[in-house]
Amino acid sequence: MDIAVFSDIHANHSALQACFDKAVSLGITHFVLLGDYVSDCPNPGKTMELIYMMKKYFTCYMIRGNREDYLLDYRKKGEKRWKKGSASGALLYTYENLTVKDLNFFDSLPIYDIWKMKGMPSFEYCHGSPTSSRELMLEKGRNTRKIVSHLKTGLLLHGHHHEQESYSYKDKKAVNPGSIGVPWNHGGKTQFAVIRSEGRSWEEEYYALDYDRKEILSEFASSGLSEMAPAWAAVTMHTIRTGLDLNEAVLLRATQLCEQERGEARWPDIPERYFALALKEYRIDLNGKDIPLKK
């Protein structure tokens, strides 16, 4: 039995379509989706339409990610604090472009589950870790070994940090399929994995695909996302173009610049000028392209 594993779509419907088409071409009808379905890329409704279609016509096992938790927390706390600008504008844009149906759907999903089927080896799946959608399970992290050693099965599927990798400890394994929507490395190719049952265990195969990036990149401006969160949209586009992740670095640098000049920096109240300066330092323009070095 083959199962496709999708994670960290981040509203990149163009990449999701490419990965879905590839999986179907392999004869796959079962999917595990590991969360972070929306945010960062434009038009989240298009991604949700694809997910609802998959759920209707294929067998899907799904959990929610930290981005879904952010959106649900925002609704629960009365829709306060997020505002236009690169600090939180992309989250606000996403929230405003989702429906009640979408949010209720996210709320219905667990953060962790165990896949079971008679005659097949079971496996566990989550976004960050079995206990938190926000916990990072890095290959060399101490927490990763501890989590893997305490698995109830021989395999854990997880996402969150956007890198394709497998970590084995004794007779157990953790597999990250990479990110579909904002992939790291591989020149920005969209990424997913397929697991195949081999007797009493599963073996993983990784995929990295070219896809039509022009479609999703053009939507940043036409959708209004670039206006809502200029620098955040730019650095996200840069990651899509290159596979180089600088989102956290730009956010940290903007925060540092704000703190140096104003004496404090409180998220999300970080003026846009500091994001613009951070972008310039990393040589990224507002279209997510590299700024050439001056000769």
Classify residue 89: in a domain, yes or no: yes
What value does the mean pLDDT of the chain take? 96
Q: How many domains does the chain have?
A: 1
Two tokens, residue 18: 């490419």
Terminal Cα-to-Cα distance of the chain (whole angstroms): 56
Query: Tokens 């590991």 map to which residue?
Result: 34
Classify residue 255: in a domain, yes or no: no
Residue 154 scores a pLDDT above 80: yes
The average pLDDT across 167-187 equals 95
* Cα gap 137→85, rounded to integer Å: 30
Express each pLDDT in 192-250 by its tens digit.
Answer: 999 999 778 999 999 999 999 999 999 999 999 999 999 999 999 999 999 999 999 99
Two tokens, residue 110: 């667990």
The average pLDDT across 5-14 equals 98
Query: Considering the entire predicted model, what is its pTM?
Result: 0.96
Classify residue 13: in a domain, yes or no: yes
The average pLDDT across 79-98 equals 97
Which residues form the domain of 112? 2-209
Express each pLDDT in 251-288 by its tens digit.
Answer: 999 999 999 999 999 999 999 999 999 999 999 999 99
Q: Which CATH number does the domain housing residue 39 bear? A: 3.60.21.10
